[in-house]
Structure 1
């Protein structure tokens, strides 16, 4: 911000109180005028209300005079004549009539009212009158402009029948009377609009445009005055479309249920005040503008010009022209003193620059010499780095070759065992085809072998972190108790298995199948470390990690500490340092893959926990696993629904759902089609996504789509999306042997209908269970999975 701008800002701040005072004064005048207008509007409405009360009192006197005639009260022969005589002296009234308790007009000043087939509406209203009051707006054939009836019960001592006298005020006459009031009464302002309405807000008379609005109801904004009990004001848009300030007297018993309203065009009444306020504002603005202009001229002459001169010489100094000097016109002023100080500073800087230039020349020579030395040293380092890179590449290649060899040996051993069991089992099945019990036993053995192959694949996927972890709350105490017998039978009689869990152990959040696999791998390693037998201890207890954190990067929080301890041979420090590395194993070639501890470490990290190993040669090994505690109150167990052997078919009798089965592998497709056909489904096969879409395009009806994920051309995810766009709500099952991002994102990509994701290998029973869950109307027996 420039100095002259700062001065203008100071002047503006000084003028602010004056402007604020002028604004406050203007606001005060404007508010006072508003309050005065409110008071005037209420007074005008009260004056109009008094006039209306006088008219109502005149109606009371008129009806009271009629009630004095006994012939009128008892329906005498001259009743009509009496009322007609009174009507001649009552200007402004359309008729005077007498109504009996049935609503029938017994006598009237107008003969046309006698002998009506049905009682008129005003006569029915008169029957309900219990004292003198005004009625509602009423239109009559003989009075097109409408009337306002007044009612007075006429019951005296000895009268035979209760009757009600009615005097109908002509509303056209009332409107003319309102116009005359403004001309004859100085108390009512001529620029106001006078309006009279009944208790329902129906306009009875106006001094302006009466014929146009008589019988119309107030606009919604004005209806609020009907519920008021005291006079007041409203600012509304009137029924004629003009914004008005309205003073009103509400319809109450005191005003005979009639409302008096006076409206003013507020803009006209405020015009003189607003004009005066605008003139004052323009005057203040003119004075402020003159002050600003004069201040600006003075600032440019005595502030901006010296400032620009100082800035110009400073800019030249910044470009290296230290010989430049600032003008010193008036040494007595502040700018003159600043210029003299800047010139003295420039002279000192000029001397310093000459000294620095001399030192820079000497320094540049030294830098050139050092640079030559650094270049020679850098050449030597580059040579050494290249030699080291080549050595590291050779070492990495050797490690890769070793890892591939270890993986091939261990995995080949495991899969050869699986293939041996599968091939042997199928050979025996072929030779014993006539023996159902033998075939059942052999198929169980083949299925068990396939499950072992699936377990090997899962260990590889878990190690590489390509398989999703389906975390659920687990009760480790109950899980260890269930696994104890399984481990005791698996590890052999020479291994004693002890499982201990602290009481009240909180649940942890982890993948159950992965957790069981980790425990089985750790138990297998412990068995191999105890060839002569020993004790395997599984111990679980609660642990709390403080804010400082724990070992292996554990965050602060509540954990369950699981200890797997054996009494075996143990490991030395060199072996312990590589124990969790992938493919590292001390077992003979072909007896291990080196993935057990690596998978356990990967599982712990994936579950937001940690793994630690302690071992000593001859004193056994202790593996510690920390898993975070979940806040779930109870552990959730997954219950699978499956069809038991020989149980009821998932397909209802008389109904065979059609299934479109898509898989590019013929053997897999034929086996799954056979499973589904045996279960009672009608199966249509397709070798790829294009053929499947062709089936759907021909208009064939399918109740379920089962498809593989990876196929040439159209993959399974795209096929399901396209099928559900053509057939909304079509259930689909995606079966895949992969565990990459495509399978993980499949659930989010397929959103058009019921959907399930299943991992290969998948048994026919599991596939049938999932199909039954997606198809409505199927029934399955339950079993715990």
Structure 2
């Protein structure tokens, strides 16, 4: 039966997403969260913005106009100064023209006197001289100049190169340290008294400075706050109305050098030679103005001071007007807007706290705030009605939810019970499968060991009965030894499967490995599964870990058995292949070279294409829950690729599955690496070194044999005595230590590794503490890693770990080798 449950109508989107308690969004538009007073201030600022812009535009215009006026003023002042410089040059021209009259100038001694008289009439000039074509001062108004003048002076060289009347460059002739400005007038070849000579009139630069200072007298068109400078064509200062003595003869700063190369008058803003930033008006040195530069500089901030004062006053006035406008706006906003706004916010706060009975005050219907207050009051009344209705519906809904919750809890409890029962059933099923697998494995191992025991016990009985027949005893003893070796092989395979042996890559004979594996799998897989081995003769060895390879093959055989529930055949085959041969059909990605392909083929159900594509994925399995982990093929693939090969699977539904392991064969480098790798002590018989070198009582080495198995101890003791050793026996570790404490003379000790009480490792440690350097051999039924590590740290390197079973002759050889090594160590120490 279905019940209809009432659900309240959804609230408006705004009330759901942003309730009264909801936090405002973290990012808002600049005008979305501004207060009303702030908005009014922004409006006032917007209204004042055009006035500010107008004031700024007017100020910029005034500033630019004054700048242009100053540029014109500087250029005009430079033009006025140029006119004065031209007047100075014209005076020099008149003076030289008078000196150029031969009759007036005279010749010989008369020339110097007349030039001196002529120079005295021109007070602005330091001297007047005549330079002959050979670069010698022929005569001069100043005797010092006439005596020292020569071609070596620059003003003399410039006189010879003058093309016509022109001003020269700054010079300091003898007797005039303040410097002079020479003016040149070539006489030409037509002059009768001095053909090819040049007249020179040198203006005194100190007097030129005085002339520049006189130009700033009251009523002069040159402004008093300008700096007047006259320079030659190289930019060297000739005269300056301010700090003349400091800068005369010095060149313009780099920033002023463009005016020297200019062709038209202009202005520059630069740092003057006296370190002051100035606006400079100039006329460049050109042939038209006798190669003299006229420069007038002004301190621009001084000329701009009145404009700056006017702009500051305007800005202050505008700021005052703006502050007044802002203040009035804020006052109006607080009185006419802030009060009703606070009233609305107060009632909204009470609504947010749950008091929907609160109402906004009446602010008048004609006012926008009054209309908003009325709308808020109507909304509050509607919300109050809806809350009352929703409260009743909510109570009914909560009751229905509580009822459904109880039903869900009961269903969940039942589900938990079912899950627990299912887990228990799976655990029991898994345990049963483990017991079944252990039973199958134990049955196969028991079968092999029963055969071994049958041969050993039967052989022993026959030896006892035929004790007098030496040939029969010899034959029967060989049969017993073969049975023991077969038992040893079964034990080694068990240790490999249980991972009790050290894992490492080795050169493997796959024919021998598959043959031994068949004996175990034939009994383990069950009677309905037939195991066959088809390996080529003379297969090359492959480089792989024996234990891992055997585990992979056992897993593949188990998968094959599961794929043949009604029985079938599993075939292990091995063949040598080359990856580059087309007939080999090597898998993709396999590098070139030689491989041995090991194939496990079954006659089972096979796999379809979808299952085959995912077969090597970890944890993928088609077996029922609890019967497989899905890691077998993934581990097989990882082993093959880690060994330098690969794995390939071929299968079709109803036609079985073929899993191929491509393993690389051992090449020279691999063989060398195997030879250099540390190997465990071999069990084959080695020629024993001479035993005569071993000191022992009565000429026979004395060995302490410790083993808790009396039968094993008796057999090994008898075999060692037959090999020429004197043997002391102990049934456990503490008994052996008692013999050592008693002071028995010993050459070596042979002990079992696993013994109750004091095991072989602890006994070795205590024995060597009592007899330092005592050679020790430990016997073990399996090569435990912990024992190997413990022995690896012993001093002297004379201890050894030997696996059972071992013949008396082999054990005697091991003891003899340790005694020989011990003697050599003692000789080296002595």
TM-score higher than 0.5: yes
| Mapped pair 1:215 → 2:223 | no
Q: Could you tell me which of 197, 210, 224 is aligned with 1:176? A: 210
Alignment match, 2:352: 318
CA separation of 1:417/1:488 partners in 2, compared to 1, >3 Å: closer, same or farther? closer
Residues 323 and 281 (structure 1 numbering): CA distance in 2 closer, same or farther, change over 3 Å? same
TM-score (norm 1): 0.56
Give the match for residue 146 of structure 1.
179
In the other structure, the counterpart of 1:270 is 304
Match of 1:579 among 601, 615, 618: 615
267 and 419 in structure 1: CA distance in 2 versus 1, 3 angstrom threshold: same
How has the CA–CA distance of structure 1 residues 622 and 197 changed in structure 2, closer, same or farther, with 3 Å as cutoff? farther
Aligned to 1:107: 139
| Partner of residue 112, structure 2 | 80
SS in 1 for 2:578: helix
1:496 aligned onto 2:583: yes
1:3 corresponding residue in structure 2: 36
Aligned pairs, number: 508
Instruction: Report whether the alignment pairs 1:343 with 2:377.
Output: yes
Aligned counterparts of 1:316 and 1:291: Cα–Cα separation in 2: 36
Alpha-carbon deviation of 1:530?
A: 9.7
Counterpart Cα distance in 2 of 1:419 and 1:117: 115
Give the direction of change, closer, same or farther, for the CA distance of 1:373–1:40 in structure 2 (3 Å limit).
Answer: same
Q: Offset of 1:335 from its aligned partner?
A: 0.8
Matched, 1:239 2:326: no
- 1:113-124 to 2 correspondences below 5 Å: 113-116=145-148, 119-124=152-157
In structure 2, the CA distance between the partners of 1:79 and 1:600, relative to structure 1 (3 Å rule), is farther
CA distance in 1, matches of 2:504, 2:169: 102
* Alignment pair present for 1:616 and 2:640: no
Query: Is the 8 Å Cα contact of residues 46 and 248 (structure 1) preserved in structure 2?
Result: yes
The Cα of 1:374 is off from its aligned counterpart by: 2.8
Q: Is this contact kept in 2: 1:196–1:261, CA < 8 A?
A: yes
Quick check: 1:163 aligned with 2:163?
Answer: no
Match of 2:29 in 1: none
Equivalent pair of 1:583/1:595 in contact (CA under 8 Å): no
State the shift of 1:298 in Å. Answer: 0.9
- C-alpha deviation, 1:366, in angstroms: 2.2
**2:126 equivalent to 1:94:** yes
Q: CA 1:621 to 1:163, structure 2 compared with 1: closer, same or farther past 3 Å?
A: farther
| Whole-Å separation in 2 of the counterparts to 1:396 and 1:221 | 100
Question: Residues 142-176 of structure 1: CA distance to partner in whole angstroms, max 9, x if unpaired?
Answer: 22211111222221326565222211111110111
1:95 counterpart SS class: strand
SS of residue paired to 1:78: helix
Match of 1:130 among 146, 152, 163: 163
Instruction: Quote the offset at 1:189 in angstroms.
Output: 1.0
Q: 1:150 to 1:351 in 2, by over 3 A?
A: same
What residue ranges of structure 2 are gaps of 5+ in the alignment? 1-33, 438-492, 511-539, 549-574, 623-631, 660-668, 670-675, 680-830
Give the C-alpha shift of residue 598 in structure 1. 5.2
Compared with structure 1, are the counterparts of its residues 121 and 282 closer, same or farther at alpha carbon in structure 2 (3 Å cutoff)? same
Which aligned pairs between 1:574-723 and structure 2 lie closer than 5 A? 576-581=612-617, 597=637, 616=652
Q: CA offset at residue 294 of structure 1? A: 1.1
SS of aligned partner of 2:309: helix
| Contact 2:506–2:543 (CA under 8 A) maintained in structure 1 | no
**1:203-602 map, 5 Å:** 203-382=237-416, 418=507, 452=543, 490=578, 496-497=583-584, 515-517=589-591, 528=599, 572-573=608-609, 576-581=612-617, 597=637
Q: Report the Cα distance in structure 2 between the residues aligned to 1:222 and 1:621, rounded to whole angstroms.
A: 99
Verify the 8 A CA contact 1:585 1:593 in the aligned structure 2: no
Deviation at 1:84, TM superposition (A): 1.1
Does 1:38 pair with 2:71? yes
Whole-angstrom CA distance in 2 between matches of 1:394 and 1:151: 131
Moved segments of 4+, more than 6 Å: 386-402, 405-414, 454-457, 582-586, 599-603, 611-614, 618-623, 665-668
Q: Give, in whole Å, the separation in 1 of the partners of 2:162 and 2:619.
A: 107
| Distance (whole Å) between structure 2 residues aligned to residue 384 and residue 251 of structure 1 | 114
| SS in structure 2 at match of 1:341 | helix
Displacement of 1:380 in angstroms is: 4.1
Offset of residue 210 of structure 1:
1.2
Aligned equivalents of 2:88, 2:338: Cα separation in 1 = 81
SS of aligned partner of 2:288: coil
CA distance in structure 2 between the partners assigned to 1:15 and 1:331 by the alignment: 34
Q: Deviations over 1:177-227 (max 9, x none)?
A: 001011065211111111111222221111112112212222222222222
Once the two structures are overlaid, the 10-residue window that deviates more, 312-321 or 133-142, is 133-142
Task: Say what the alpha-carbon RMSD is for the aligned residues.
Answer: 4.9
